Chains A and B, each alone.
Chain A
Amino acid sequence: MNIFFQNVIAGLETGSLYALAALGLVLIFRTTDVINFAQGEMAMFCSFIGFKLFTSLGLPYPVAFIVTIIFAVLFGFIIEKYVIRSVNKASVVSKMIVTLGLIMVISGLATALFGIDSHYLRKAITLDNLNIGGVVIQPNAIFIILVTIVIMSVLFYMIRKTLFGIAIRATAQNETTAKLMGIPVNRITSSSWIIATVLGAIAGLLIAPTTNVSTTMMGEIHLKSFIAAVVGGFGSFLGPVVGGFLIGILDNLVGYYITLKWKTVIVYGLLIVVLIFKPTGLFGKIHRKKV
């Protein structure tokens, strides 16, 4: 039983990171219909910035963390304003191809600036493990889960309760009418890119101790965040978060109790099964955006 709980906590830990990344994807998708395939690369780039601030500049870890988030704000703003918005008149599919191109540009840039080596970055919390009734818990895992819960709560409060959040949802449903009501749709789009980039950067910094900081560090999170978003439902904000946790936990349980070799296959199997019975995802509604 102790092992079971340990696996669940480990699942919640990685699931948190899938959930953060997935929420970023969905935020951009809901407001603009674009899927940002470069989300993982953007997060990787931010992680390198954090790593450099911490090692080369020698900033204390919390300061490096916060400065990285500020960088992510600027990074998201710039990518949206100068790349995505400049192809504003292009179709949604073309914009997605543009984000595919961004993968190459950003990973090329990262290689040029930071090299191809992979580097260790410390955990956010480096305290000794706790032992609660035989269950060994890493404080860092608790930290990651708590950070995710706090971020999610703030975001959900914003989306559900504030006028800004209502405007995000209105824009997601009907962009033209949102404009007619005086919603500055450009600013909403810009904000969703900024928030998504910050979410990615946080996920990147938090996964770094496991994957190391390297140009390929986000590969698995990025892919799993897509699966989380689809399993939970791209049409809802809550779904991808639940999907993220679900995949994280399943990943660990299958890996431990059944087989490590087949865990990826089984998790993908879940994706297919969900889509067979619930084509719009667990929490998905039919996406009815009108333009």
Chain B
Amino acid sequence: MLKFKNVDAYYGYIHALKDVSIEVPKGKIVTLLGANGAGKTSILKVISGLLEIKEGSYEFDGKDLKNYKPEDIVSMGIVQSPEGRQIFPDLTVHENLMVGAYTRKDKLNINKSLIKGYEYFPILREREKQIAGTLSGGEQQMLAIARALMAKPKLLLLDEPSLGLAPLIVKDIFNIIQEINKSGTTILLVEQNAHQALSIADYAYILETGKVVHSGHAIELRNDEKVKKAYLGSS
């Protein structure tokens, strides 16, 4: 569904992505793992049209994505829940969700997506009228995911959904990510919580300073000694 071929990207002279090739097959959960500054967010920025690439190419359903604006990418069905949640703090929960539906052409079905979002995250229905900036961290994360779902994505990009959340909530959120995937949405999941990510993903890439250093089926990586040592904090 999504394919990166030998992509290089820079911030000024900082070489953020080096010859990156990854693939996200339809219907799967693929995870990108790696330490701070490895280039995970940069990959998502490239996909969403916020960061230009210098070399290589990347495509979605066979379509070259280079030169598309962020709003076109969303219209194509690729939507991101960005790092640090980035909800709109002064809008209500409901308004945040409506922003997610901005590109929808099928205005009549927006309400269905809203109900679906509230089914995944019932707490958001209770907080519907609340100013989003006053939500707790976990609730904000739920809102960020629900907001992305409002666009009815084919491919959902999640940047560190577990960041700063209590283990119990992380577990909830990962369960819901799995449910979203089962209902037909392909997922590209960026995580530092390698343990959790590998437990729900089909396939994983491990990045180090802008390069892919490992890749494989999640089950294999979970049992790989080298990976265990470096990323799972156990031997």
A positions within 8 Å CB-CB of B:
163, 166-167, 169-170, 173-174, 176-184, 285, 288, 290
Contacts and interface: CB of A to CB of B under 8 A. Distances in A.
Interface residues of B, number: 27
A180 B85 CA distance: 12
Interface in B55-101: 69-71, 73-75, 79-80, 82, 86-91, 95, 98-101
Nearest to B48: A180
Nearest to A180: B80
A182 B50 contact: no
B55 to A, nearest CB: 23
Given A166-B98, A174-B86, A179 B91 contact: no
A170 B95 CA distance: 9
B99 A183 contact: yes
A18 to B, nearest CB: 25
A170 B99 contact: yes
A182 B75 contact: yes
Contacts, number: 71
Interface in B197-221: none
A166 B95 CA distance: 7
Interface string B98-132: 11111100000000000000000000000000000
Contacts of B101: 163
B28 interface: no
B89 A288 contact: yes
12 contacts: A163-B98, A163-B102, A166-B91, A169-B95, A173-B90, A178-B88, A178-B99, A179-B70, A180-B86, A181-B74, A181-B100, A290-B86
B88 A174 contact: yes
B210 to A, nearest CB: 21
Given A166-B99, A180-B80, 7 more contacts: A170-B88, A170-B95, A173-B88, A177-B88, A179-B48, A180-B48, A288-B89
With a 10 A CB-CB cut-off, give which of A170, A183, A290 has the most chain B CB atoms.
A170
A182 B72 CA distance: 7
Contacts of A285: 90
Contacts of B151: 181-182
Nearest to B157: A180
A288 to B, nearest CB: 7
B154 interface: no
A185 to B, nearest CB: 8
B50 A169 contact: no
B71 A179 contact: yes
Contacts of B102: 163, 167, 181-183
Contacts of A173: 88-91
Contacts of A176: 50, 82, 86
B147 interface: yes
Nearest to A176: B50
Nearest to B92: A166
Contact of B99 (A181, A184, A288, A290): A181
Tell me whether chain A's interface is mostly helix, strand or loop, or mixed: helix
Nearest to B150: A181
Interface of B: 48-50, 69-71, 73-75, 79-80, 82, 86-91, 95, 98-103, 147, 151
B71 A170 contact: no
Nearest to B95: A166
Contacts of A169: 88, 90-91, 95
Nearest to A181: B99
A167 B103 CA distance: 11
B82 A170 contact: no
B17 to A, nearest CB: 19
Contacts of B49: 179
Contacts of B82: 176-177, 180
With a 10 A CB-CB cut-off, give which of A176, A179, A180 has the most chain B CB atoms.
A180
Nearest to B96: A170
A113 to B, nearest CB: 37
Contacts of A170: 88, 91, 95, 99
A163 B99 CA distance: 7
A288 B131 CA distance: 14
Contacts of A167: 99, 102
Contact of A180 (B70, B89, B90, B95): B70
Contacts of A177: 82, 86-88
With a 10 A CB-CB cut-off, give which of B48, B74, B99 has the most chain A CB atoms.
B99
With a 10 A CB-CB cut-off, give which of A166, A182, A285 has the most chain B CB atoms.
A182
Contacts of B73: 182
Nearest to B133: A288
B80 to A, nearest CB: 5
A283 to B, nearest CB: 13
